[in-house]
Amino acid sequence: MYGISLDIGTSGIRGHGVELSSGKILSTAITESHPLPGANIMDHLTFCIKLGKDVAHSILMGTVNKLIKELNIDIAKVERVAICGNPIQLSLFQNMQIDDLAYAGEKAWETRGITPLKRNARTIPAVDVGLEVPDKAELLVPPAIKHEIGADALAMLLKSGFLDQKENCLVTDYGTNAEMALKVGDEIYTGSAAAGPAMEGQHIKHGMLASPGAISDLEYDFNYRCKVLNEDLMAAPGDLIDLAFGSVVDEGEMHGKAIGITGTGTVAVLAAAMESNLWRKGKLQMPNGRIDLQDGIFVTEEDILEAAKAIGAMRAGHFTLLEHAGIKFEDLNIMYMSGATGTYVDAEKARQVGLLPPTCKEIYQIGNTSLAMATDILRKPELLDELQSIADGIRSNHVMFATDKVFENIYIQELAYWNEGMPMSAYNDNLAVLGIQQLPKVSGRPKVHRIAERDIPILGDKGLKIIKDFGTELKGNFAGCTGCQKCVKECPESALTMDADKTMRVKTKECLGTACYRCQFVCPEKVYKYDDMRLA
């Protein structure tokens, strides 16, 4: 008999095929992005609210079922499916209401007549949510800690060892929606920073998720050695590059095999540019406005600013949790990093650019905790009761960054620092006026514990399958359309096409969703309405 474990992430879906008798991972499949339009959790929420949760659920499940078929196991013998993810993704997966997640706070709920759901652990028939598995198969769903703090955060806290740590410590899942928690004594302070998709390699010119062919790091020397993920998702030596001139000094093992760059690779380029004085005052000091790497892959000034926006949001989040806990940076020595970015990024470079607090002296890189916990649940279903008990017992103070004044004040300084080139001295002076502690300089060399060498530690004997053909289409016809195709030409992702009869079609996995709307804004007749598109 077999089981399937799934991590339903904002940037994509990951899954294992597992032999239940032995608990052995047999195979792994991942998607290269999320099937819903948009690149972050707010885009998915907005799409769901405007086009309906049934539509969002249908698109998501179509992709999940395609992924399951690629796991190369006998679907007729699947007995259990276990999932993990943030509250929004798991709600979409189960076709549950998301209104209480879209509108935060009791006043907002009361105004709109929303009753928040209790997202406790549960076991239900897998076919009830649309999974194409045998009728007898069970779906195991882990609990959220609170409605804003989901099962993925619980996985991060448990799998990292964070909850057992006696010293002050911080943990972060470095993704599009960066969940983070600070532990001070028995108190836990949590938050979630909408960092944007740059850390997942999206909204980057040559960006991609962590998969074979992705430049994931640069090694510093007199020149810079690209590190490229191989077929086993391990970082292998690429070409040696003269960063200032973009020329290849020496061809590496992965020469000719780079097809893109991850968010961690972009962070490494930023760190290299800062060290080489090629990044000054919010500008890339290169004649062609870009840094060339190997195999035609390059990073632009706009790419660096996208990454900087994510770095700024995460640093502001860390800063805010410390302020709410009433402790200084100097009181924080231990940092846990999870997720693909937390695995592949060079921890010292990450600390240099601001992804980690400058004072942390011990850093643990722990891999994908969400998929790992789903697999644990699959092997041991009674773990659900234990997880519910742990979730109920966590004393958590959740800080809603979107409405928090401390976060707002710090993030304004981050934007000025990265976008306008404001010096760090002015950054700290402004914080002092606001009564906020200053940001210390990076000093010393931390001890790095690389617990996981890749995001998904075990791929299984049947290996990794990357799914590129997924998602679906939205279509619509609009009275008054002249067929000028300005909307088609305006689409930055080439996700929009027009048939001969003026039927509009949008590829959901390519579309930037409601965060873009450029197609709608450019319509000269003002007849094209993105929200009126429906499933093809």
Task: Give the Cα separation of 193 and 368 in Å (integer).
Answer: 18
pLDDT in the model for residue 94: 96
pLDDT in the model for residue 51: 85
For the cut 80, the answer to whether the pLDDT of residue 514 exceeds it is no
| Per-residue model confidence as pLDDT tens digits over 188-234 | 999 888 777 777 777 788 888 888 999 999 987 778 899 999 988 88
CB 484 within 8 A of CB 72: no
CB 248 within 8 A of CB 240: yes
pLDDT in the model for residue 339: 85
pLDDT in the model for residue 535: 86
Task: Give the Cα separation of 88 and 101 in Å (integer).
Answer: 7
pLDDT in the model for residue 33: 86
Burial classification of residue 482, based on how many CB atoms lie within 10 Å of its CB (0-12 exposed, 13-18 middle, 19 or more buried): exposed
Task: Give the Cα separation of 279 and 305 in Å (integer).
Answer: 11
Ramachandran sector of residue 209 (left: φ over 0; alpha: ψ -120 to 50; beta: rest): beta
Largest CA distance in the chain: 67
Question: Tokens at residue 318, please?
Answer: 């860390």
pLDDT in the model for residue 458: 92
- DSSP codes, 178-216: EEEEEEETTEEEEEEEE--GGGGT-SSTTB--SSTTEEE
Average pLDDT over residues 20-33: 95
For the cut 80, the answer to whether the pLDDT of residue 395 exceeds it is no
Q: Phi and psi at residue 155, in whole multiples of 5°? A: -60, -45
Burial classification of residue 209, based on how many CB atoms lie within 10 Å of its CB (0-12 exposed, 13-18 middle, 19 or more buried): buried
For the cut 80, the answer to whether the pLDDT of residue 484 exceeds it is yes
Which range is most confident: 170-179, 285-294, 410-419?
410-419
pLDDT in the model for residue 57: 95
Burial 111-141 (b: 16+ CB within 10 A, else e): eeebeebebebeeeebeebbbbbeeebbbbb
Higher pLDDT, 198 or 451: 451
Distances (CA, A) of 216 to 146, 264, 329, 430, 457: 34, 5, 29, 35, 16
Which range is most confident: 200-214, 271-285, 373-387?
373-387
Distances (CA, A) of 406 to 271, 410, 417, 500: 27, 6, 17, 53
pLDDT in the model for residue 105: 72
| Per-residue model confidence as pLDDT tens digits over 103-120 | 877 788 888 898 888 899
pLDDT in the model for residue 205: 86
For the cut 80, the answer to whether the pLDDT of residue 381 exceeds it is yes
Quick one: pLDDT band at residue 64, thresholds 50, 70, 90?
A: very high
Residue 100 burial (CB count, 10 A): 21
Comparing 99-113, 449-463, 515-529, the range with the smallest average pLDDT is 99-113
Burial classification of residue 433, based on how many CB atoms lie within 10 Å of its CB (0-12 exposed, 13-18 middle, 19 or more buried): exposed
Tally the residues of the chain.
Answer: 536
Provide the strand spans (E) within 395-510.
Answer: 396-398, 447-450, 464-467, 473-476, 496-498, 504-507
Higher pLDDT, 470 or 134: 134
Average pLDDT over residues 127-146: 95
For the cut 80, the answer to whether the pLDDT of residue 39 exceeds it is no
Average pLDDT over residues 429-447: 94
Task: Give the Cα separation of 428 and 52 in Å (integer).
Answer: 45
For the cut 90, the answer to whether the pLDDT of residue 400 exceeds it is no
For the cut 70, the answer to whether the pLDDT of residue 147 exceeds it is no
For the cut 70, the answer to whether the pLDDT of residue 148 exceeds it is no
Task: Give the Cα separation of 368 and 233 in Å (integer).
Answer: 13
Average pLDDT over residues 417-432: 94
pLDDT in the model for residue 376: 97
Comparing 150-159, 311-320, 510-519, 526-535, the range with the smallest average pLDDT is 510-519
pLDDT in the model for residue 382: 96
Task: Give the Cα separation of 16 and 5 in Å (integer).
Answer: 5
